[in-house]
């Protein structure tokens, strides 16, 4: 058995060495029929251009989720909803599907005017031109409304950080590169979401402290405070119309 393993190992090493050296390896056993078909390079430039366009389109489609997350209001909204679940003490309620779905629809609501401008200024003119408008021009037109949205919701300090790193000095807002604007916008969204999360935690933290102090004063140290505070937090959240207030505050931030 050991000899057989050594023989297989030696034959494998010989095959690898012969393949790397360009030496035809010796076939052992039944030989498979070889096809005589050869792949010839395409001489048609149109076919090559079409293939490259398809490849570029597939690349854009693969990056679509990242673009959806990083250039829209989705980041701030989903983080705020995650904070409210943690503050309530229900990390799995509402479920992730509900949180993501509600965040997506609120994102569509917030980004509706921006995407309408993109459709009116870039998408429809591109299709109406029937090939006269180049894709580059259409992308430049489409990036305008998205750029304006991100600039309105980006802290000047964050944008200046990335501009200083790349030593860019744009004269106007249109000259700000997307490579500097997008990360600055994401950082600003994270900062805003964490500020909102801080204000969300304060009332629920007070409830937890009151409940924990009450349990300790009654000598009920073995009872977890979260079991008693959870109904109280849910009651306060419902009576205060928490979901409506939270959604209205999120939408007001983008008004």
pLDDT value, residue 35:
46
Is residue 99 one of the residues assigned to a domain? yes
pLDDT value, residue 49:
64
Domain count, the chain: 1
**Secondary structure (H, E, C), the chain:** CHHHHHHHHHHHHHHHHHHHHCCCCCCCCCCCCCCCCCCCCCCCHHHHHHHHHHHHHHHHHHHHHHHHHHCCCHHHHHHHHHHHHHHHCCCCCCCHHHHHHHHHHHHHHHHHHHHHHHHHHHHHHHHHHCCCCCHHHHHHHHHHHHHHHHHHCCCHHHHHHHHHHCCCCCCCHHHCCHHHHHHHHHHHHHHHHHHHHHHHHHHHHHHHHHHHHHHHHCCCCCCCHHHHHHHHHHHHHHHCCHHHHHHHHHHHHCC
Is residue 215 one of the residues assigned to a domain? yes
Is residue 18 one of the residues assigned to a domain? no
Is residue 54 one of the residues assigned to a domain? no
pLDDT value, residue 80:
92
CB neighbours (10 Å) of residue 102?
16
On the 0-12 / 13-18 / 19+ scale of CB atoms within 10 A, 130 is exposed
The per-residue pLDDT string of the chain (255 residues; one tens digit each, 9 = 90 and over) reads 444 444 444 444 434 444 444 434 334 343 444 444 444 444 555 555 677 767 766 776 677 777 778 888 899 999 999 999 888 888 888 888 998 999 989 999 988 888 888 888 887 887 777 767 777 777 778 778 888 888 888 888 988 888 888 888 887 777 788 888 888 999 999 999 999 999 999 988 888 888 888 877 777 777 777 777 888 888 888 888 888 888 888 888 887
Per-residue pLDDT of 86-131, as tens digits, reads: 888 888 888 889 989 999 899 999 888 888 888 888 878 877 777 6
CA distance 159 to 178: 11
Per-residue pLDDT of 42-59, as tens digits, reads: 455 555 567 776 776 677
pLDDT value, residue 47:
59
On the 0-12 / 13-18 / 19+ scale of CB atoms within 10 A, 132 is exposed
Is residue 154 one of the residues assigned to a domain? yes
CA distance 131 to 10: 60
Is residue 124 one of the residues assigned to a domain? yes
CA distance 104 to 125: 27
pLDDT value, residue 5:
41
Is residue 17 one of the residues assigned to a domain? no
Domain membership of residue 244 as a residue range: 69-253
The answer to whether residues 146 and 71 touch, using CB atoms and an 8 Å cutoff, is yes
Q: Find all residues with CB under 8 Å of 114, minimum gap 6, and list them.
A: 145, 146, 148, 149
Does residue 85 have a cis bond before it (omega within 30 degrees)? no
Is residue 149 one of the residues assigned to a domain? yes
């Amino acid at each position: 058995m050991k000899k057989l393993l050594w023989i297989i190992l030696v034959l494998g090493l010989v095959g690898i060495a012969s393949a790397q050296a360009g030496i035809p390896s010796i076939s052992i056993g039944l030989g498979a029929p070889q096809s005589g078909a050869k792949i010839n390079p395409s001489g048609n430039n149109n076919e090559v251009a079409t293939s490259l366009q398809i490849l570029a389109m597939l690349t854009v489609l693969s990056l679509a989720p990242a673009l959806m997350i990083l250039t829209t209001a989705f980041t701030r909204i989903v983080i705020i909803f995650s904070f409210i679940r943690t503050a309530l003490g229900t990390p799995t309620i509402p479920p992730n599907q509900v949180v993501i779905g509600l965040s997506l629809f609120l994102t569509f609501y917030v980004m509706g005017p921006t995407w309408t401008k993109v459709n009116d200024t870039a998408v429809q003119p591109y299709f109406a031109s029937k090939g006269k408008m180049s894709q580059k021009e259409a992308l430049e037109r489409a990036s305008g409304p998205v750029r304006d949205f991100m600039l309105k919701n980006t802290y000047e300090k964050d944008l200046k950080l990335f501009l200083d790193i790349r030593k860019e000095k744009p004269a106007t807002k249109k000259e700000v590169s997307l490579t500097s604007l997008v990360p600055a916008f994401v950082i600003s969204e994270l900062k805003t979401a964490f500020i909102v999360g801080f204000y969300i935690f304060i009332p629920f933290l007070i409830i937890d402290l009151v409940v924990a102090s009450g349990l300790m004063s009654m000598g009920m140290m073995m009872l977890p405070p979260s079991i008693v505070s959870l109904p109280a937090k849910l009651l306060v959240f419902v009576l205060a119309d928490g979901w409506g207030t939270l959604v209205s505050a999120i939408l007001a931030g983008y008004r």
